[in-house]
């Protein structure tokens, strides 16, 4: 079965949501739960079977492989949990889907073995390229706000643009225009959640190209510390961001 790692570009993988991969994964998930498997293990096994990078389901577009490289596994987990006709513990499900907190503590080897090594690598791309990148923005945003409060000046629009200038060297407007031009996307006033994730991942790759390794390591450390403070689990992550993108 073709894995996510080979389905590039993902923009060509827009299905109706009734493909054999989806049906097989959902059926396997439900059967494993009926057989007594823990629902989280059953979920990860189903994720391992899933090979659709994008789909349209019930009128909604789901992109599980952002930019063909970053695996949004929690989005797929949400899709599978909604589809399976089996009782799932509400508290555990909510903790996983909304806070990334799994009900079982697995080793990296166990997690990778359940979802597959290709998906695991793309999961790392998502973690560093989107989760950590978002955290870095928050870190620098706090720094800028603190400086502005000290100087007696504060304007939110200027804060955002200053963050983008410090991290990426340009304002958000300039970067978003370059991103949309490169991707061939329309210039809309609003940004969808899916486009925002892809933009964030694009910014991550832009930063890796523009910054030296010392700066990248320092920024990553600050962002990871922010995630730790915020309670985001990091037990399934190994590697550094510079070694991930294909």
Domain end point (choices 71, 104, 137): 104
| Average per-residue pLDDT for the chain | 86
Q: pLDDT tens for residues 116-173?
A: 999 999 999 999 999 999 999 999 999 999 998 887 766 666 899 999 999 999 999 9
Token digits of residue 6? 């080979």
The pLDDT value given to residue 231: 83
| Average pLDDT for 64-71 | 96
Strands 65-66 and 14-15: unpaired
The pLDDT value given to residue 150: 81
Residue 11 has pLDDT above 50, yes or no: no
Distance (Å, whole) CA 13 – CA 52:
7
Instruction: List phi, psi (to 5°) of 239.
Output: 30, 165
The pLDDT value given to residue 13: 35
Task: Indicate whether 141 and 50 sit together in one domain.
Answer: no
Residue 112 maps to a domain: no
Residue 74 sits in which domain range?
4-104
Task: Indicate whether 99 and 169 sit together in one domain.
Answer: no
Residue 111 maps to a domain: no
Round the CA-based radius of gyration of the chain to a whole number and report it: 19
Query: What's the first-to-final CA gap in the chain, in angstroms?
Result: 21
Task: Indicate whether 128 and 192 sit together in one domain.
Answer: yes
Domain end point (choices 104, 128, 144): 104
Residue 109 maps to a domain: no
Count of Cβ atoms closer than 10 Å to residue 191 Cβ: 14
Residue 59 maps to a domain: yes
* Structural domain count, the chain: 2
Which is nearest to 76 in space by CA: 107, 105, 97, 106?
Answer: 97
Element (H, E) at 42: helix 39-49
Token digits of residue 15? 């299905």
Task: Indicate whether 52 and 23 sit together in one domain.
Answer: yes
Task: Indicate whether 53 and 130 sit together in one domain.
Answer: no
> Could you tell me the pLDDT band of residue 68, with boundaries at 50, 70 and 90?
very high
Task: Indicate whether 207 and 124 sit together in one domain.
Answer: yes
Question: What is the pTM (predicted TM-score) of this model?
Answer: 0.85
* Strand ranges (E), the chain: 14-15, 54-57, 60-63, 65-66, 70-71
Q: pLDDT tens for residues 76-117?
A: 999 999 999 888 999 999 999 998 999 999 999 999 999 999
Task: Indicate whether 93 and 200 sit together in one domain.
Answer: no
The pLDDT value given to residue 21: 79
The pLDDT value given to residue 242: 53
The pLDDT value given to residue 20: 55
Distance (Å, whole) CA 41 – CA 102:
10
Which is nearest to 173 in space by CA: 158, 193, 153, 151?
Answer: 158
**pLDDT above 90: percentage of residues in the chain:** 72
Residue 34 has pLDDT above 90, yes or no: yes
Distance (Å, whole) CA 134 – CA 136:
5
Domain end point (choices 75, 104, 133): 104
């Amino acid at each position: 079965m073709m894995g996510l790692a080979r389905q590039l570009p993902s923009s060509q993988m827009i299905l109706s949501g009734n493909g054999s991969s989806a049906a097989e994964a959902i059926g396997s998930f439900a059967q494993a739960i009926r057989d007594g498997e823990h629902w989280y293990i059953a979920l990860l096994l189903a994720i391992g079977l899933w090979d659709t990078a994008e789909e349209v389901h019930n009128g909604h577009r789901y992109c599980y492989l952002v930019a063909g490289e970053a695996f949004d596994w929690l989005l797929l987990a949400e899709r599978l949990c909604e589809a399976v006709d089996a009782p799932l513990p509400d508290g555990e499900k909510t903790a996983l889907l909304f806070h990334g907190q799994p009900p079982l503590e697995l080793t990296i080897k166990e997690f990778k073995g359940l979802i597959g090594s290709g998906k695991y690598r793309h999961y790392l791309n998502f973690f560093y390229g989107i989760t950590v990148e978002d955290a870095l923005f928050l870190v620098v945003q706090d720094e800028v706000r603190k400086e502005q409060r000290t100087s007696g000046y504060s304007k939110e629009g200027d804060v955002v643009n200053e963050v983008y200038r410090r991290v990426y060297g340009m304002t958000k407007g300039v970067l978003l225009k370059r991103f949309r031009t490169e991707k061939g996307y329309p210039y809309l006033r609003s940004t969808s959640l899916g486009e925002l994730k892809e933009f964030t991942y694009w910014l991550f790759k832009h930063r890796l190209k523009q910054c030296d390794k010392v700066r990248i390591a320092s920024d990553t450390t600050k962002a990871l510390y922010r995630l730790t403070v915020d309670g985001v689990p990091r037990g399934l992550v190994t590697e550094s961001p510079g070694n991930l993108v294909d």
